[in-house]
Amino acid sequence: MHNLQHRFQQFLVWREHAISARYFTMILSIFVGLFCALAAHVLKSIIEYLHEVAKNAVEASDVNYLFFVMPIVGIFLASTFVRYIVKDDISHGVTKILYAISQRKAVIKAHNIWSSLVASSLTIGFGGSVGAEAPIVLTGSAIGSNLGKAFRMDRKTLMLLVGCGASAAVAGIFKAPLAGVLFTLEILLFNISMTAILPLLVSTITATVTSYIFFGMDVAFAATIEKFALSNLPYYIILGIFCGLVSLYFMKTTLSMEDRIKRIKKPFMRWGISAFFLGIILFLFPPLYGEGYGNLIDLLNNNIESAASHPFYYELLSSEWSIPIFFFLVMIFKVVAMSFTNAGGGVGGTFGPTLFVGGIAGFIVARVINIIGIHPLPETNFVLVGMGGLMAGVMQSPLTAIFLIAVITVGYELLMPLIITSTISFATIRGVESYSIY
């Protein structure tokens, strides 16, 4: 071990004389992109495996009581892992990155490379109603920060590598390199110079190519869409305003609920209360189990019955108005379920729930207008555009929302309504709320 440390020190001395910091940063950005994509692959694989186990268990049962039990177990395992093994707060990954950049000189603890992966896989795999993206972004930023520290890079480069990790994480999960760069520019490193964009691009391209190798060429959210019709333009404007209002509800409810629940000082009681109410919500609304991406894909392909997730609801959804009312309740309670998951000790982010709630918001607007008979609207188009609208409002990052949704759904034909709805949603919430959820 001592010999290895000595050789590494010799390499550092040689590197400082043989390779400039600029070129070595480019080399490190390649490795950051590679490691981030691999981390995303590991997390997604674990979550999918646990979901498959849960799905088989539920299908073998006459009732869906496991929707109540499994999230309780998952949050307990995740919170126990964090409390007794990690012994550090690892929730809300993007917020921790922002704190590290502003207060700790872009230094992120080494355990964040693996601790978020373990805790979030337990949380989401067992049904916690949160997203996996924020834990991966924290993992990616931790990879960049610790690689930079290991090779004695200066603070400016360290901050850039943190951004490379965040960009690569988004690109690795969604196979969207440009969206990864925009995410970093809009949310994390908004004062970055133009010359520093190159390492961000290198890391995101590396992560995207690696993801193609492991995940295949399929897009994250395959959608059945129709071409943009100019006659639908006024309704995309309505959707933008609605997404802005839902974004305000999303932010206020999340922050208020988590703050109140975390005032409960005893961890076991906090877990018990949160897990109990989360279990009830998931029992009543199975579409809220886990990330909910399967249900979102169903909506993107007009499979409404499948999106309800359980035969129990098929007869209840037989009338035309019961369908938008049901999904409105799902949209409302998704935010509540997410808050209970995180406040109860689970580890996950708001990125995934934002896409889920946005898609449902778009479906509700289109379905209500179709029922009233004002104008026939393609519901799948509105599901897709709603995803972008809510992301633009909740995260206050319209460019990321526009390009990310266009890439992950291959919805380039809807670029115009994506721009319109995202811009209006952003403007709507900006009038009453100056900060994003982060």
pLDDT at 389: 94
Count CB neighbours of 140 within 10 A.
37
Tell me which of 230 and 4 has the higher pLDDT. Answer: 230
Q: Which stretch of 31-40, 191-200, 277-286 has the lowest confidence by average pLDDT?
A: 191-200
At residue 318, does pLDDT exceed 70? no
pLDDT at 363: 95
Over residues 295-319, mean pLDDT: 71
Partners of 114 in beta bridges: none
pLDDT one-digit tens code per residue, 173-186: 888 888 888 888 88
pLDDT at 423: 95
pLDDT at 259: 85
At residue 421, does pLDDT exceed 90? yes
User: Which pLDDT band, with edges at 50, 70 and 90, does 335 fall under?
Assistant: very high
Q: Which stretch of 82-96, 262-276, 355-369 has the lowest confidence by average pLDDT?
A: 82-96
User: Which pLDDT band, with edges at 50, 70 and 90, does 24 fall under?
Assistant: confident
Q: Which stretch of 44-53, 171-180, 352-361 has the lowest confidence by average pLDDT?
A: 44-53
User: Residue 303 is which amino acid?
Assistant: N
Q: Where are the beta strands (DSSP E) in 310-428?
A: none
φ, ψ at 190 (rounded to 5°): -75, -10
DSSP per residue over 383-394, as a string? Answer: HHHHHHHHHHHH
pTM metric for this prediction: 0.89
Give first-to-last CA distance, the chain, whole Å. 42
Q: Which stretch of 36-50, 305-319, 411-425 has the lowest confidence by average pLDDT?
A: 305-319
Range with the largest mean pLDDT of 60-74, 235-249, 283-297: 235-249
At residue 9, does pLDDT exceed 70? yes
CA–CA gap between residue 179 and residue 5 (Å, rounded): 38
Question: Under 8 Å CB-to-CB from 181, ≥6 apart: which residues?
Answer: 167, 197, 200, 201, 204
CA–CA gap between residue 258 and residue 276 (Å, rounded): 15
CB 40, CB 173: distance < 8 Å: yes
| Average pLDDT of every residue of the chain | 84
DSSP per residue over 323-381, as a string? Answer: HHHHHHHHHHHHHHHHHHHHHTT---BSHHHHHHHHHHHHHHHHHHHHHHTSS---HHH
pLDDT at 40: 87
pLDDT at 316: 60
How many residues belong to the chain? Answer: 438
pLDDT one-digit tens code per residue, 215-228: 778 777 888 888 88
Q: Where are the beta strands (DSSP E) in 213-259?
A: none
Three-state DSSP state, 259: helix
pLDDT at 356: 93
pLDDT at 205: 94
At residue 248, does pLDDT exceed 80? yes
At residue 382, does pLDDT exceed 80? yes
At residue 61, does pLDDT exceed 70? no
At residue 242, does pLDDT exceed 90? yes
pLDDT at 331: 93
At residue 104, does pLDDT exceed 70? no
Q: Which stretch of 80-94, 313-327, 359-373 has the lowest confidence by average pLDDT?
A: 313-327
Q: Which stretch of 84-93, 203-212, 402-411, 427-436 has the lowest confidence by average pLDDT?
A: 84-93
User: Which pLDDT band, with edges at 50, 70 and 90, does 317 fall under?
Assistant: low
Structure tokens at 340: 């209970």
User: Which pLDDT band, with edges at 50, 70 and 90, does 250 fall under?
Assistant: very high
CB 221, CB 293: distance < 8 Å: yes
CB 339, CB 254: distance < 8 Å: yes
Tell me which of 60 and 435 has the higher pLDDT. Answer: 435
Structure tokens at 124: 């989401």
Over residues 230-250, mean pLDDT: 94
Tell me which of 345 and 385 has the higher pLDDT. Answer: 385
At residue 133, does pLDDT exceed 80? yes
